[in-house]
Structure 1
Amino acid sequence: MTTRYETLPLPETYREAFGVEPPDTRGERYVKPRKPGFFIRAVAPPPGTPGPVPTDPLPGDAESAAGTDPDAAPDADGAPRLARELVHAQWGLVPHWVKSASDGRLRAPKLVNARSETVSTATPFREAWLKGQRCIVPMAAFFEDDWRSGKAVPTRIARVDGLPMGAAGLWARWTGPEGEELVSYTVLTVNANSHALIHRYQPPGSEKRMPALLNEGAYGAWLSARPEKAREFMRQYPANWLLANPVESKADKGPPAFL
């Protein structure tokens, strides 16, 4: 279970890697449960818009990437790629049926991750999954504890090449009786018991889990895939593409805004 991750350090990375305009400020460097973070979702065209959605390739959907990853190919029905937007929201999904915003925030720490195997039937996540409220959670790294020494050693896990990662997620919008709104998201996870890297981390005897990290060429396909095909994206990220380094502290020492 991943309960802490690092946001992107440079604003231009959002545009270059994910095809969205960057936020005005970075916000918190390390995102924890109930804290605000960012997710990326597809934007549908306004009703009655003539013609197709803009078809210019977006970053992360290059033809070269699509040619090496079957998941990155356009949908079988030829649907055009959708535009994307960056959304500021709470990490820890708030289901539509909670009675109050405070109740949703109390539940949030247990809903920062969604098991991919049961996401379509689990009560908190089922509606978001069936409605196709999928998103991408951009991150520079995520953190896991290494217990091999007998005590928890926080470890930063990132791509070997230092490029950003996009984790598969779901988002939801809760609306209260007086019209107040709370937008939230969760990160989908996959079993990692057999993963060459992640199996070393997390408490002894527990099932090992890792974020469902998407291949760069599959971002658009993930956001537009039909629910029955979305499960095909739920797979382990290659261990040789990841690098793990112990860190001194979990404390957030990062700057509050972009430099």
Structure 2
Amino acid sequence: MCGRYSLFAPQNAVIDLLDATPERDLEPRYNMAPGEELPVVRDAASDRIEFHKWGLVPHWADDDSNGLINARAETVAEKPSFRDAFEQSHETGGPQAGRCLVPADGFYEWVDESGGTQPYRVTRTDDRPFAMAGLWSTWETEIEQVGLDAFADGEASTETRRMLTFTVVTTEPNDLIEDLHHRMAVILDEAEQREWLTADPADAGELLDPYPADEMRAYPVSPAVNDPTNDAPAVAEPLDPEP
């Protein structure tokens, strides 16, 4: 699975990767966690890097209490929570759901070892940022507003609360990741990014394969990454830096 990741590559490198402009500056992030507003590029706004909540809430959900941080590549076309987004269906999901790119420059996995659990950071061997395959959905609810005016005329007004959410698609691990976890995030090479946003479902499904293991590396990091409030360069540094 992908439950924590980082993005502290230079902003210009991220812009070049995604061919999109951020709606606000990309602050360096070393420990990005579910529930936070994080950068994505949606198919519905492919020239912009927007910020949306990590934890997909389907547009038809009754409440927003159970956001889904990952979606299995094998079932995105079948699961009701993800089907509308994956199919970009205007009949059922309309502009309320679709596919997105989730920029990162590394992600974390935890391994059971003697004495406890050891976190590892996984990156490209060249340390360049990359785009993970994602799905997005809009969730809306009506909130009743009760103010002084309501007491005067006996009526309360309502306000629509709109929230954009996303999830990261995962697939079978490559040879490197399988020693760390039984799933890994789908990493798209640069030639696949626009195809993921625009292809029909059958072709998009062909993109959801493991990234080549020989283009990735993994190294142990401090257990400080376990706490998502620890968002500093130290959590991404190797425990035993090479000389």
Q: TM-score range by the shorter chain?
A: 0.7 to 0.9
Residue matched to 2:92: none
Runs of 4 or more above 4 Å deviation:
none
Contact 2:8 2:28 in 1 (8 A): no
CA RMSD, 1 decimal: 1.8
Give 1:188 deviation, angstroms.
0.4
Give 1:25 deviation, angstroms.
4.2
Residue matched to 1:153: 118
The alignment partner of 1:169 has SS state of: strand
Residue 97 of structure 1 pairs with residue 60 of structure 2: yes
Q: Distance in 2 between matches of 1:213 and 1:226?
A: 19
Instruction: Give TM-score scaled by structure 1 length.
Output: 0.74
Residue matched to 1:182: 163
Residue matched to 2:192: 218
What amino acid does structure 2 have at the position aligned with 1:33? P
Structure 1 stretch 35-44 or stretch 2-11: which is displaced more? Answer: 35-44
1:253 to 211, 215, 231: 231
Task: Summarize the alignment of residues 129-148 of structure 1 with structure 2, pairs less than 5 Å apart.
Answer: 129-131=86-88, 133-148=98-113
What do the CA deviations read for 1:181-209 (whole angstroms, capped 9, x no partner)?
010100000012xx21111113xxxxx00
Residue 201 of structure 1 pairs with residue 180 of structure 2: yes
Contact 1:148 1:200 in 2 (8 A): no
Q: Distance in 1 between matches of 2:221 and 2:13?
A: 24
Residues 131 and 218 from structure 1, CA distance in 2 versus in 1: closer, same or farther, beyond 3 angstroms? same
What do the CA deviations read for 1:38-97 (whole angstroms, capped 9, x no partner)?
1112347xxxxxxxxxxxxxxxxxxxxxxxxxxxxxxxxxxxxxx522110000101112
Where structure 2 has 5 or more consecutive residues not aligned to the other structure, the ranges are: 90-97, 143-158, 234-243
| Paired residue total | 204
Give 1:29 deviation, angstroms.
3.5
- Identify, as 1 or 2, the structure richer in strand: 2
Residue matched to 1:20: 20
Residue matched to 1:68: none
Contact 1:42 1:85 in 2 (8 A): no
Instruction: Give TM-score scaled by structure 2 length.
Output: 0.78
Where structure 1 has 5 or more consecutive residues not aligned to the other structure, the ranges are: 45-82, 203-207
Residue matched to 2:66: 107
Give 1:17 deviation, angstroms.
1.2
Q: Distance in 2 between matches of 1:156 and 1:93?
A: 24
